[in-house]
Amino acid sequence: MTRIPQQLTMGIIIGNRGFFPSYLVAEARQQAITLFDRLGINTVMVDENQTELGGVETRQEAKTCAALFRQHRDSIHGIVVLLPNFGDEKAVAEAIRLSGLNVPVLVQAQEDNLDKMGLATRRDSFCGKISLCNNLRQYGIPFTLTTQHVCALTSDVFENDLRRFEQLCRVVTAMRGVRVGAIGARPAGFNTVRYSEKLLERMGVAVETLDLSEVFTRVKLLRDDDIRVEEKRRVLLDNADASAIPAEKVVTMAKLFVVISEWVIANDIDTTAIQCWTSLQENLGINVCSIMSVMSGQLMPSACEVDVMGALSMYALASCSLNPASIADWNNNFGEERDKCVLFHCGNFPSASLESPAMGTADIIGTTVGKENTCGAVHGRLKSGPMTYFRLSTDDLTGEIRAYVGEGKSVDDELDTVGCRAVVQVPQLENLLAWICNNGFEHHVAMNHSSTAQVLHEAFTRYLGITTYYHQPATLFR
């Protein structure tokens, strides 16, 4: 079961300043309760019995709010600041600092109405937001802005901003303390997927390792009629059409699935990177692709060739949008169309992202280990639609973790090949590929059906401290 948070909890701070209309605080509080409840977001906020109208204006009210947030520190994923009037910027900033929470902060300010600019009704939130953001910067508290400088709490604009903020909070939460399982040694021919565990540890990411010899021993100890094996066999059959695969091969896959799953649970693993060739084919006579496909579909992504950074990239994508992610090679040009290319891997994509997924053999690997020893690869064409791509990498030469992100789309152009494949269109793809090569990034890229590049860029640069290149061509296709 994935540990990516499905339902989020937000700490709400409603700013207030006494010489502005205070009734606006009570109004904003009720509107917020209605909105967050409708969107299925849990909230933590002071009420009218704890502070004046449930707002935060004084030092004591800031302390009260901070104490409430500390009581719920293990459940709060983000803080939303609402300014129905100018607000007291110092009190809001101190409430966040005193809470000790290190979570994303969204700042919203209510717009004024031109027919309500008298002293009894004007808000001045337009100005107050600038003052608050100035204070947050002084306090060293990173924050996120709404699309418009001011917007109504009940507007579609703010609702969309809140949805994006949910995604941002989810990916930041998921990436802090993530645990990666590295199963098997890196294939000898793949220097490209080298990575630094020490740099990841500094980021708060732990890597647990498992040798394939231990996996093979545990697989051999499982009986064909073990109830755990039967359960995993049915999961594999439900994932993709396996009518072309010998029954005994599916049973072997199920045994391997049991071993991996139990190790994942025992070690609190969130995402895995597996040595998918050639030891598995030579020792078990199968491919692990279908198992990886299932796990990725369950939002516990699994990357090929012990690509730990690829697994983390997939996990970031999945946690942001709650859509399963895949990993593939930037693999082939698409004729003379330079803004299109082919993404390909043997057969690991989550089946929900594919047209007519079917289990088969991995023909390319089969040329060296025997096609009959590669049963388990998933074949299918990536469904068309918007796509976000993302890649994390550790750079030992500079001692930092870096990333790139962007958006494109999967298209239906004809492609005659096998495995998991896609034709994708990326604006100014040649420039992106040159940037990837010049900056030493790997040939693997994570992707999923979403439009989350902007959210991922902000999450990693602003809140996770990762230098992230955002590929934003001047002219995007429509």
Query: What are 251-294's pLDDT values in tens digits?
Result: 999 999 999 999 999 999 999 999 999 999 999 999 999 999 99
C-alpha span between 362 and 428 (Å, rounded) = 32
Q: Give 118-127 pLDDT, tens digit per residue.
A: 766 788 999 9
Q: Give 199-227 pLDDT, tens digit per residue.
A: 999 999 999 999 999 999 999 999 999 99
List the end-to-end C-alpha distance of the chain, in Å, as a whole number.
Answer: 38
DSSP bridge partners of 105: 79
pTM, full prediction: 0.96
CA dihedral 283, 371, 290, 258 (to 10 degrees): -20
- Give the pair of three-digit tokens for residue 381: 């064409």
Q: How confident is the model at residue 1 (pLDDT cuts 50, 70, 90)?
A: confident
Predicted confidence at residue 12, as pLDDT, reads: 98
C-alpha span between 61 and 28 (Å, rounded) = 17
Percentage of the chain exceeding pLDDT 70: 99
Instruction: Find the angle CA(47)-CA(51)-CA(57) to the nearest 5 degrees.
Output: 125
Predicted confidence at residue 122, as pLDDT, reads: 85
Which domains, and CATH codes, for the chain? 9-175 (3.40.50.10940), 179-471 (3.20.14)
Q: Give 405-419 pLDDT, tens digit per residue.
A: 999 999 999 999 999
Say if CB 372 and CB 285 are below 8 A apart: yes
**Backbone φ/ψ region at 453: left (φ over 0), alpha (ψ -120 to 50), beta:** alpha
| Side-chain-facing half-sphere of 250: CA atoms under 13 Å | 22
Mean local confidence (pLDDT), 418-431: 97
Q: Give 43-94 pLDDT, tens digit per residue.
A: 999 999 999 999 999 999 999 999 999 999 999 999 999 999 999 999 999 9
